């Protein structure tokens, strides 16, 4: 096993653990007025939820780092020890989800095979999807229920299990400033990479959303947000234009509508626009000193890498349009659609090179 640990300290801390090793029916519609009374009132009927999905944390974390910023090297080492102990537990229940050529993430929250994910990842009730565990094992599953209004969905594995899982937090953990851990499959499941773990903090909360600074990209959608005690507290929903401004569905949304989401619930027909896929390049970068965008990272197997873009390139043009800043590049890409072809010009070792990139899509 090869662990890679990256620590960045400014006003907060981002710890990235990336473990690389080779891995071995018809739609049911339920009217909105049939949601349980507990969902309407905001109360949670825990009797309808599998007991093990709500059991105490198996992590046995005695130290409380919920709101604490490490101040000394010793505190940092203890904090790192907690995250290192939680990483294997969180990884084993984080799954990849493949449906109709698209990819996203999810998390198993019961030994029976209840998988929480985002509605925009799996689509309609009754859809059959493939769930991939970190060891490479694959299982068919069906979408049990979706609520597009909050981007929540539950998928049920068709095999009997038991499956690796992480329980859900019974009470709301997420408060501004608290530490959280995000996992998922950025750019989709990869056979030689386990789920990637990223540490961040809660920025803001509402009854139906949690905003964090965890660094997420396309493919992470539907993946889990965990607390520092071994519990699921949210599901990745909207990935922002900045990699570190993202929104999640609180796990309490799933708990309140548990019975309905497991019985084919779909909101009453509304003329709502589906969440569109966005054009995806697969790069990170910053403003270059003399104009243009300095490419600092190229995602493996992403559109940029396939087009020949390399780390250290300076992107200066898109479709003959001059690009001076990274923000300008982001704004230009917002006008593009997945599968669009884009001609770019980069400076490499002082020489101009023209490349053609076919844009991918984010979930």
Helix (H) or strand (E) holding 81: helix 73-93
> Does some domain include residue 268?
no
Range(s) of the domain holding residue 91: 5-261
> Does some domain include residue 274?
no
In a shared domain, residues 221 and 342: no
> Does some domain include residue 206?
yes
In a shared domain, residues 42 and 133: yes
Q: Is the pLDDT of residue 7 over 50?
A: no
Q: Is the pLDDT of residue 12 over 70?
A: no
In a shared domain, residues 249 and 284: no
Q: What are phi and psi of 90, to 5 degrees?
A: -70, -35
The domain boundary residue, chosen from 207, 235, 261: 261
> Does some domain include residue 211?
yes
> Does some domain include residue 48?
yes
Q: Is the pLDDT of residue 336 over 80?
A: yes
Chain centroid to CA 18: how far? 15
> Does some domain include residue 267?
no
Give 268-333 as a DSSP string.
PP---------EE--EEEEE-TTSSEEEEEE-TTSHHHHHT--TT-EEEEETTEE--SHHHHHHHH
Q: What is the pLDDT of residues 157-186, one digit of tens each?
A: 998 879 999 999 988 888 888 999 999 998
Contact (Cβ atoms closer than 8 angstroms) between residue 311 and residue 283: no
Helix (H) or strand (E) holding 90: helix 73-93
In a shared domain, residues 228 and 254: yes
Q: Is the pLDDT of residue 24 over 50?
A: no
133 pLDDT tier (thresholds 50, 70, 90): very high
In a shared domain, residues 62 and 200: yes
In a shared domain, residues 245 and 321: no
Largest CA distance in the chain: 66
Please, which residues have CB within 8 angstroms of residue 355's CB and are 6 or more apart in sequence?
307, 308, 309, 343, 344, 345, 346
Q: What is the pLDDT of residues 98-111, one digit of tens each?
A: 987 788 999 999 99
In a shared domain, residues 69 and 215: yes
Average pLDDT of the residues of the chain: 81
In a shared domain, residues 57 and 189: yes
In a shared domain, residues 101 and 159: yes
In a shared domain, residues 230 and 293: no
Domain CATH for 328: 2.30.42.10
> Does some domain include residue 273?
no
pLDDT of residue 18: 31
In a shared domain, residues 149 and 224: yes
The domain boundary residue, chosen from 200, 226, 261: 261
> Does some domain include residue 272?
no
Q: Indicate the SS3 state at residue 251.
A: helix
What's this model's pTM, rounded to 2 decimal places? 0.64
Domain CATH for 195: 2.40.10.120
Domain count, the chain: 2
The domain boundary residue, chosen from 261, 293, 318: 261
In a shared domain, residues 283 and 255: no
DSSP designation for 195: P
Nearest one of 238, 204, 240 to 222, comparing CA atoms: 238
For the segment 78-86, the average pLDDT, to the nearest whole number, is 89
């Amino acid at each position: 096993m090869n662990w890679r640990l990256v620590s960045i300290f400014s006003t907060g801390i981002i710890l990235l653990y990336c473990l690389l090793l080779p891995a071995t029916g018809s739609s049911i519609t339920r009217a909105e007025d049939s949601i349980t009374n507990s969902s309407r009132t905001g109360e949670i009927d825990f009797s309808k939820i599998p007991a093990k999905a709500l059991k105490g944390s198996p992590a046995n974390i005695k130290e409380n780092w919920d709101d604490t910023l490490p101040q000394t090297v010793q505190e940092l080492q203890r904090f790192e020890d907690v995250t290192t102990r939680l990483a294997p537990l969180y990884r084993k229940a984080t799954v990849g989800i493949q449906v109709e050529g698209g990819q996203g993430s999810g998390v198993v929250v019961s030994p029976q095979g209840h998988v929480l994910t985002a509605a925009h990842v799996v689509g309609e009730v009754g859809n059959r999807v493939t769930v991939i565990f970190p060891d490479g094992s694959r299982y068919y599953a069906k979408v049990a229920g979706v609520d597009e209004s909050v981007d929540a969905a539950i998928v049920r594995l068709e095999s009997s299990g038991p499956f690796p899982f992480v329980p859900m937090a019974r009470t709301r953990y997420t408060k501004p400033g608290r530490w959280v851990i995000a996992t998922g499959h950025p750019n989709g499941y990869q056979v030689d990479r386990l789920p990637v773990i990223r540490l961040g903090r809660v920025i803001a909360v509402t009854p139906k959303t949690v905003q964090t600074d965890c660094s997420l990209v396309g493919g992470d959608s539907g993946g889990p947000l965990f607390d520092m005690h071994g519990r699921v507290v949210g599901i990745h929903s909207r990935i922002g234009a900045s990699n570190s401004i993202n929104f999640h569905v609180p796990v309490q949304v799933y708990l309140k509508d548990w019975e309905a989401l497991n019985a084919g619930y779909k909101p009453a027909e509304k003329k709502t626009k589906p969440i569109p896929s966005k054009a995806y390049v697969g790069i990170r970068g910053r403003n270059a000193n003399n104009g243009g965008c300095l490419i600092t990272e190229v995602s493996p197997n992403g559109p940029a890498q396939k087009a020949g873009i390399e780390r250290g390139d300076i992107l200066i043009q898109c479709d003959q349009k001059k690009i001076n800043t990274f923000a300008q590049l982001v704004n230009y890409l917002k006008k593009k659609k997945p599968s669009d072809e884009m001609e770019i010009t980069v400076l490499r070792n002082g020489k101009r090179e023209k490349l053609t990139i076919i844009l991918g899509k984010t979930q």
